[in-house]
Amino acid sequence: MRGRLESLVLNHGDEPDPRFTLANERTFLAWIRTSLAFLAAGIAIEAFADELLSAPLRTPVAGGLLSGAALIAALAGIRWLRVERAMRHKAPLPLAPFAPIVAAIGILGTSILLFTLMSQTGT
């Protein structure tokens, strides 16, 4: 029997197969690991990249990574909830549109950072 909060958050419905619920949790945790990687990268750039990046460039890069970490964590929680609700109501599972967006931003951000670094060093 679920408590009032769980019933309210999960919007009732039938209990799904535990394997699917656990798979949903593993996906959530994978997104949280990605968020933690963004967080660690942001902290590392701000703390240790003094010689690689000038302060006017280092701060926005670190801030972007830290903001990305918070956004990914929030979207992971929202996605977990949407998938859990869909499974309980035997509805089609929602897509995760932020997965390709995160990949595109990661590739674009890395490209810009490397281009900037190469420009600064004269390579």
Per-residue pLDDT of 15-43, as tens digits, reads 889 999 999 999 999 999 999 999 999 99
Question: In this predicted model, what pLDDT tens digit does every residue of 86-121 receive, in sequence order?
Answer: 999 999 999 888 888 888 888 887 888 788 777 776
Percent composition of the chain: helix, strand, coil (DSSP 3-state, to 5) = 80, 0, 20
Residue 113: what pLDDT? Answer: 76
**Where exactly are the structural domains of the chain?**
17-121
Question: Minimal CA–CA distance to 16: which of 83, 79, 77, 76?
Answer: 83
69-90 mean pLDDT: 93
> pLDDT at position 109, please?
78
Q: CA-to-CA distance for 82 and 84, rounded, in angstroms?
A: 5
User: Does pTM top 0.85 for this prediction?
Assistant: no
